[in-house]
């Protein structure tokens, strides 16, 4: 089964569960809402929640990648462990920006990747 089919079946399952929950009888003789209506509203709600969660995950991944790349270019010895500050999202980015070594970052003449000007050797290629 390909990925699109699995996602489609998952959405259909959630729609049917949503409509089953919202179409419960409240004891007043009428259903809360029809299955199709709640399914559509449930789908819109699900897509809204998935968009928010997807945006949050994308932000965290971006922050982790930025912190790791910047920490390596600044020659920080704990560059692989400090990247986990990104799990805190924007708060982790703020913490990192406040505690990172200050200085100018410029391209290395040997490899072209960014490095801090005050470092004796490039953290990427090791050349001076």
What pLDDT is recorded for position 37? 53
Q: Secondary structure of the chain in the HEC alphabet?
A: CCHHHHHHHHHHHHHHHHHHHHCCECCCCCECCCHHHHHHHHHHHHHHHHHHHHHHHHHHHHHHHHHHHHHHHCCCCCHHHHHHHHHHCHHHHHHHHHHCCCCCEEECCCCCCEEECCCCCCCCCCCC
- pLDDT > 70? residue 32: no
pTM: 0.59
Percent of the chain with pLDDT over 70: 77
What pLDDT is recorded for position 54? 92
The pLDDT tens digits of the residues spanning 61-89 come to: 998 998 888 888 888 878 778 878 888 88
- pLDDT > 80? residue 2: yes
Q: Give me the chain's average pLDDT, please.
A: 78
């Amino acid at each position: 089964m390909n990925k699109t089919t699995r996602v489609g079946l998952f959405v259909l399952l959630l729609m049917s569960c949503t409509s089953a929950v919202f179409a419960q009888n409240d004891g007043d003789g009428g259903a809360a809402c029809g299955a199709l209506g709640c399914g559509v509203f449930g789908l819109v709600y699900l897509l809204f929640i998935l968009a928010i969660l997807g945006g949050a995950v994308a932000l965290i991944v971006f922050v982790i990648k930025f912190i790791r790349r910047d920490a390596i270019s600044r020659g920080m010895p704990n560059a692989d462990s400090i990247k986990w500050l990104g799990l805190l999202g924007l708060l982790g980015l703020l913490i990192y920006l406040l505690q990172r070594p200050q200085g100018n970052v410029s391209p290395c003449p040997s490899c072209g990747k960014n490095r801090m000007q005050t470092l004796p050797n490039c953290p990427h290629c090791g050349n001076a």
